[in-house]
A and B are shown apart, each in its own frame.
Chain A
């Protein structure tokens, strides 16, 4: 018996990582009840973007731990489906990769329809879930990689095709890169991640990215894979490959992530980029215009996603206000970077909290 314990201890000493308490990256637990959270109880329903799924699942778990007997459901069926369900009155709020459209598409203005659903009151877009876009790569022996936006654009458009190209070497002095072809992965399905990534490339590179930003990938190189999981698995199993993906997908698989212009991706650097974002909405609506060249110490490729709620006149306003107050609370936000999301910067957090408090 004692021998067995000794042997186990010995094995632990040899394989320290194997014996560490297994903590999944998805554990942004909040122990105490943040100020302003009152737990009114009931059932709350949301639907929308799959990019918010991991984030909201964790939030729901933490909230229902603090407020037992409350049920919050989030169905991740896609932004479009979420907005449709919200307008149709089937859910209390929608999660979306983009704010409600204020211009007509197919003869329909989303913002007007949403206002009708809210009894004539405007629906507001609250930017609460920020997913940094990671440039993940798999190159043997290269643990640190730095890329400038124009190099990223030219790699993903197939103009730079080998790892030892002089352009990449110029960004990485002192690092030996292999003379191998670059394998590129992109999202084969239409996705908000692709749209945000190409928007970033188009704005940050001054013409190095020649394509129009869109949900469907327009680059002329690489291979398309199914959803974030397919892309991330592609990088994991293919040597000398690179891809863009939600940070969470890279974290989950332990993929190496490149720095952009010398700034490594972390909750802090991504959050710093959000401080440069400009709020273009008014009257509680907080739609954002992101700044893709935010300057020193900020990781620029960040995607802002929204919670769409009725400012007044929605269903279940008390529980919705309470839940969102919990999500926006400082102590909750502190843990989101372990899930692969960027925390709300303080100034924006205060604005979001103000809009939430006005929900009736």
Chain B
């Protein structure tokens, strides 16, 4: 009884300090995001008003004409396509690696493999870009031609009029390699936390390793794996230098993965040295605004999906 006020007083000071700091930190983050949004919108506003092409459906992007003619349709397609293909390749491989590292190998072998994967994350993206266009791209070109010949009747795999390896296909594969470490690392941590009792219970009931994985580990880690994939997607959507170095710009928009193109991030980076007026910069910032909204939407979607996955398990 006599001790109670003392405990209350100390805990109250801690509460106030910690609570205040947490509030300031989270408020600050929200404020920064808001400020970025306002900056993008205020810079892009005038060019958007003057734009003589449809901003959402045009595939043109001409900042220097008067009035400017620009639309984000082609950029949106290329950005989403490269990221989606990268994700479709990276996620299964990452989950496989994570399962291997947590369920099949242990000890020194596991940490050696994990070390190598983590090393991939430390490679700067400019290196991935140069490697992609000079070595990896030419090396995979025969397989690209094979797919093009077999599936060329589908517009998505049609002849994209790009002679070099600078295609969406090459860019997607390099992006897949780039986002592999982050997805692997996160899913590995989630899988590793599968309750021991659940696994041992399944084994005691005579389940094989695969059955343990399928019935115990995967359902437990589903929402974590989805969240990891979304983080990878975020990185792929915003990747700049590697994509800029690999992708060829094309004059005519084409939906094929064997065509070139530009993403939101790469078009801004490529043209930044020639932003001689704030107005011209505004045209490109309008593309940045769409990427901002897109990333926002992807993250919101990821939260919803992850929450649902949690409820089910």
Give chain A residues whose Cβ lies under 8 Å from the Cβ of B134: 233, 237
Knowing A216-B64, A220-B252, say if A226 contacts B270 (CB, 8 Å): yes
Give chain B residues whose Cβ lies under 8 Å from the Cβ of A226: 244-245, 270
Scoring B62, B166, B270 by chain A CB atoms within 10 A of each residue's CB, the highest score goes to B166
Count B-side interface residues using an 8 Å CB cutoff. 26
Give chain B residues whose Cβ lies under 8 Å from the Cβ of A240: 163
Give chain A residues whose Cβ lies under 8 Å from the Cβ of B162: 223
Bound-state Cα–Cα, A185 to B161, Å: 12
B64 and A223 contacting across the interface, CB-CB below 8 Å: no
Interface residues of B in 227-278 (CB under 8 A from A): 244-245, 248-252, 260, 262, 270-271, 273-274, 276-277
Q: Is B299 close to A, CB under 8 A?
A: no
- Nearest Cβ in chain A — how far from B266, in angstroms? 9
User: Which B residue sits closest to A187, measured CB to CB?
Assistant: B249
Bound-state Cα–Cα, A188 to B260, Å: 12
Proximity string of chain B (162-181) to chain A, C-beta cutoff 8 Å, 1 when within and 0 when not: 11111000000000000000
- Nearest Cβ in chain B — how far from A81, in angstroms? 8
Q: Is A46 close to B, CB under 8 A?
A: no
User: Which B residue sits closest to A161, measured CB to CB?
Assistant: B161
Q: Is A78 close to B, CB under 8 A?
A: yes
B248 and A223 contacting across the interface, CB-CB below 8 Å: yes
- Nearest Cβ in chain A — how far from B116, in angstroms? 28
Q: Is A222 close to B, CB under 8 A?
A: yes
Give chain B residues whose Cβ lies under 8 Å from the Cβ of A215: 64, 274
B166 and A183 contacting across the interface, CB-CB below 8 Å: no
Cβ-neighbour of B166 out of A189, A214, A216, A223 (below 8 A) = A223
- Nearest Cβ in chain A — how far from B142, in angstroms? 13
A188 and B249 contacting across the interface, CB-CB below 8 Å: yes
Q: Is A241 close to B, CB under 8 A?
A: yes
Q: Is B133 close to A, CB under 8 A?
A: yes
Interface residues of B in 86-123 (CB under 8 A from A): none
- Nearest Cβ in chain B — how far from A290, in angstroms? 23
Q: Is A219 close to B, CB under 8 A?
A: yes
A190 and B163 contacting across the interface, CB-CB below 8 Å: no
Give chain B residues whose Cβ lies under 8 Å from the Cβ of A220: 251-252
User: Which B residue sits closest to A237, measured CB to CB?
Assistant: B138
Proximity string of chain B (218-231) to chain A, C-beta cutoff 8 Å, 1 when within and 0 when not: 00000000000000
- Nearest Cβ in chain A — how far from B81, in angstroms? 17
Give chain A residues whose Cβ lies under 8 Å from the Cβ of B273: 77-78, 81, 189
- Nearest Cβ in chain A — how far from B113, in angstroms? 33
B245 and A106 contacting across the interface, CB-CB below 8 Å: no
Cβ-neighbour of A237 out of B64, B165, B276 (below 8 A) = B165
Give chain A residues whose Cβ lies under 8 Å from the Cβ of B138: 237
Bound-state Cα–Cα, A216 to B248, Å: 15
- Nearest Cβ in chain A — how far from B20, in angstroms? 45
Cβ-neighbour of A223 out of B62, B163, B244, B276 (below 8 A) = B163
Bound-state Cα–Cα, A221 to B160, Å: 12
Give chain A residues whose Cβ lies under 8 Å from the Cβ of B166: 223, 225, 234
Bound-state Cα–Cα, A81 to B64, Å: 18
User: Which A residue sits closest to B276, measured CB to CB?
Assistant: A80
- Nearest Cβ in chain A — how far from B136, in angstroms? 12
B274 and A225 contacting across the interface, CB-CB below 8 Å: no
Give chain B residues whose Cβ lies under 8 Å from the Cβ of A80: 274, 276
Bound-state Cα–Cα, A237 to B166, Å: 11
Knowing A106-B277, A223-B260, say if A185 contacts B250 (CB, 8 Å): no
Bound-state Cα–Cα, A234 to B274, Å: 23
Give chain A residues whose Cβ lies under 8 Å from the Cβ of B262: 188
Bound-state Cα–Cα, A190 to B249, Å: 12
Cβ-neighbour of A241 out of B62, B164, B245, B250 (below 8 A) = B164
Bound-state Cα–Cα, A222 to B162, Å: 7
Q: Is A224 close to B, CB under 8 A?
A: yes
Give chain B residues whose Cβ lies under 8 Å from the Cβ of A230: 133, 245
Bound-state Cα–Cα, A106 to B248, Å: 32
User: Which B residue sits closest to A81, measured CB to CB?
Assistant: B273
B64 and A214 contacting across the interface, CB-CB below 8 Å: yes
- Nearest Cβ in chain A — how far from B10, in angstroms? 58
B277 and A238 contacting across the interface, CB-CB below 8 Å: no
A188 and B252 contacting across the interface, CB-CB below 8 Å: no
Knowing A223-B250, A233-B134, say if A238 contacts B276 (CB, 8 Å): no
- Nearest Cβ in chain A — how far from B244, in angstroms? 6
Q: Is A278 close to B, CB under 8 A?
A: no
Bound-state Cα–Cα, A32 to B270, Å: 43
Knowing A226-B245, A233-B133, say if A189 contacts B163 (CB, 8 Å): no
Q: Is A181 close to B, CB under 8 A?
A: yes
A189 and B274 contacting across the interface, CB-CB below 8 Å: yes
B251 and A221 contacting across the interface, CB-CB below 8 Å: yes
- Nearest Cβ in chain A — how far from B91, in angstroms? 29
Give chain B residues whose Cβ lies under 8 Å from the Cβ of A223: 161-164, 166, 248-250, 260
User: Which B residue sits closest to A216, measured CB to CB?
Assistant: B64
Bound-state Cα–Cα, A189 to B274, Å: 8
User: Which B residue sits closest to A212, measured CB to CB?
Assistant: B65
Interface residues of A in 14-37 (CB under 8 A from B): none
User: Which A residue sits closest to B279, measured CB to CB?
Assistant: A106
Give chain A residues whose Cβ lies under 8 Å from the Cβ of B249: 188, 223-225
Bound-state Cα–Cα, A214 to B62, Å: 12
A224 and B64 contacting across the interface, CB-CB below 8 Å: no
Give chain B residues whose Cβ lies under 8 Å from the Cβ of A222: 251
Knowing A78-B273, A183-B164, A190-B274, say if A225 contacts B252 (CB, 8 Å): no
Q: Which residues of A contact B (CB under 8 A)?
A: 77-78, 80-81, 106, 158, 181, 183-185, 188-190, 214-216, 219-226, 230, 233-234, 237-238, 240-241
Q: 13 pairs across A/B with beta carbons < 8 Å?
A: A106-B277, A183-B164, A185-B248, A188-B270, A189-B270, A190-B271, A216-B62, A216-B64, A220-B252, A223-B163, A223-B250, A234-B164, A237-B134
Which are the 7 A-B pairs with shortest beta-carbon distances?
A183-B163, A224-B249, A223-B248, A188-B249, A190-B274, A238-B164, A220-B251
Identify 5 new A-B residue pairs, CB closer than 8 A, beyond the known A220-B251, A223-B260: A78-B273, A80-B276, A188-B249, A219-B251, A223-B162
